Structure 1
């Protein structure tokens, strides 16, 4: 089942456009738009606390139009957005001087971003979409499960103050790498586990760390290790979501070295 954080779709409602009334019920809702109520439990970055979490709703108005598009109404995508050669190209953004990029997919990107924000030597974090087939995807596009994008955090870090290996350690601790296309109740290809490398050195370190992690687990790790591809920055309300208050309006600390439990959805 897919949990989408973009907007709550109720079990039934009516939407009207001009003279057209479209009744949308739970029988028409695709699995990609089904929601659970969020868990209010607190948990730390330890793997054992992740699996009861669910993703909440965010009140935005776009999904109703997205549903109309699915039903055959509304505008079609621009042809250039369907050119998969663009999103399958490398991430050609340039980090700040003396900095390096790293990309990680470990389920819902809100909690993962806050965990990396707290790491000394990390100078910037952004959440977004990558590895997909559609140019300039929206969150609603990604939630359909048809674009093959992964929710990721792109980390900019100072290698003099933060090693890539320390970022890998946090990545493994932050999620369960043995569940395919799933973290807890968040289900879908966008929640897959992935390390997306920028250099040969990063690739080597990632593969070595996977081998070490596999020795500690009795289930097969399904984490993909691939070259970093074009990064599409997610909508602004997703950026530093938990630091800004999350769903419940209580901001969580992004201070360096902070080890307060992370409330994954706010």
Structure 2
């Protein structure tokens, strides 16, 4: 009798359908739920600057339009920040842009150079129009923290600025300076003229010969400069976090306390 039933189950269409019905897999619900988990929006590490205690994260609220702005690098709005810096220096002056980690200490160093007439800190080389500090800190906009230096070429040549640039940071660490980690802390020289580009390339080659590790400094055309929030401007000269003002006097050699 059992043998007969077994024979029927393999030949009867009704019984065959019942037997071949797929079994419920306990793993599938978990696989489905795993697809709902938030995924990191950027492969780059976040900044660890001590001054910032509330780092915005990209999540569902961001996608709904709340929180830091993001932009599609292929969108039309991206053509603005990716365009050249169209600001004009004072008559007889020239611009230069440098990224060498946290822009507070870098700015103060440039302020002390004779012939430098103005400095501003800001964001550049990213694809988001009008970024905020919080936007840049997400690591998704590709901006670099830079100092835009205005200088009088009759009193200060570009090579002097390059020498300070190399002395202020480690150009061999990618997207990092000390405890500051993130794409905004990358090393970069952003030129305005062919002469600046040539001098930057030659300077890099000279310094590479002195280093036992590869320099990762990028040398690119200067793009639109977005001035950082006012509290970032001349931050250390105004006292920094602890209210101790640091000298901007030309030629001053006092040690720079990077965070105040």
TM-score, normalised via structure 2 length: 0.77
**Which residue of structure 1 lines up, in the alignment, with residue 62 of structure 2?**
70
**Alpha-carbon contact 1:87-1:135 (below 8 Å) kept:** yes
Residue 138 of structure 2 corresponds to residue 144 of structure 1: yes
The answer for unaligned runs of 5 or more in structure 1 is 1-27, 36-54
Seen in structure 2, the aligned counterparts of structure 1 residues 125 and 246 have a Cα distance that, compared at 3 Å, is: same
What are the equivalent positions in structure 2 for 1:176-187 lying under 5 Å apart?
Answer: 176-187=170-181
Residue 235 of structure 2 corresponds to residue 263 of structure 1: no
2:245 alignment partner, one of 251, 257, 260: 251
**Alpha-carbon contact 2:84-2:222 (below 8 Å) kept:** yes
**Which residue of structure 2 lines up, in the alignment, with residue 161 of structure 1?**
155
Q: Which SS does the other structure have where 1:84 is aligned?
A: helix
Q: Which has the higher strand share?
A: 1
**Alpha-carbon contact 2:56-2:68 (below 8 Å) kept:** no
**Which residue of structure 2 lines up, in the alignment, with residue 48 of structure 1?**
none
Q: Which SS does the other structure have where 1:216 is aligned?
A: coil
**Shift in Å at residue 73 of structure 1?**
6.3
What are the equivalent positions in structure 2 for 1:96-135 lying under 5 Å apart?
Answer: 96-135=90-129
Seen in structure 2, the aligned counterparts of structure 1 residues 255 and 68 have a Cα distance that, compared at 3 Å, is: farther
Give me the whole-angstrom Cα distance separating, in 2, the residues matched to 1:172 and 1:166.
10
**Shift in Å at residue 158 of structure 1?**
0.2
CA radius of gyration, larger in = 2
What are the equivalent positions in structure 2 for 1:38-49 lying under 5 Å apart?
Answer: none
**Alpha-carbon contact 1:66-1:140 (below 8 Å) kept:** no
Seen in structure 2, the aligned counterparts of structure 1 residues 194 and 64 have a Cα distance that, compared at 3 Å, is: closer
Seen in structure 2, the aligned counterparts of structure 1 residues 193 and 202 have a Cα distance that, compared at 3 Å, is: same
Residue 220 of structure 2 corresponds to residue 223 of structure 1: no
**Alpha-carbon contact 2:96-2:190 (below 8 Å) kept:** yes
Task: Report how many residues are paired.
Answer: 217
Give me the whole-angstrom Cα distance separating, in 1, the residues matched to 2:184 and 2:71.
23
TM-score, normalised via structure 1 length: 0.75
Give me the whole-angstrom Cα distance separating, in 2, the residues matched to 1:188 and 1:92.
27
Give me the whole-angstrom Cα distance separating, in 1, the residues matched to 2:67 and 2:196.
42
Give me the whole-angstrom Cα distance separating, in 2, the residues matched to 1:245 and 1:76.
28
Give me the whole-angstrom Cα distance separating, in 1, the residues matched to 2:221 and 2:47.
31
Q: Which SS does the other structure have where 1:146 is aligned?
A: coil
Residue 90 of structure 2 corresponds to residue 90 of structure 1: no
**Shift in Å at residue 70 of structure 1?**
3.1
Seen in structure 2, the aligned counterparts of structure 1 residues 79 and 118 have a Cα distance that, compared at 3 Å, is: closer
Residue 189 of structure 2 corresponds to residue 189 of structure 1: no
Alpha-carbon RMSD across the aligned residues, in angstroms, is 2.6
**Which residue of structure 1 lines up, in the alignment, with residue 29 of structure 2?**
none
Q: Which has the higher helix share?
A: 2
Seen in structure 2, the aligned counterparts of structure 1 residues 204 and 79 have a Cα distance that, compared at 3 Å, is: closer
**Alpha-carbon contact 1:102-1:196 (below 8 Å) kept:** yes
What are the equivalent positions in structure 2 for 1:29-68 lying under 5 Å apart?
Answer: 35=48, 55-57=49-51
**Over residues 176-202 of structure 1, what are the superposed CA-to-partner deviations in whole Å (9 max), with x where a residue is unaligned?**
000011101111111000000000000
The answer for unaligned runs of 5 or more in structure 2 is 1-39
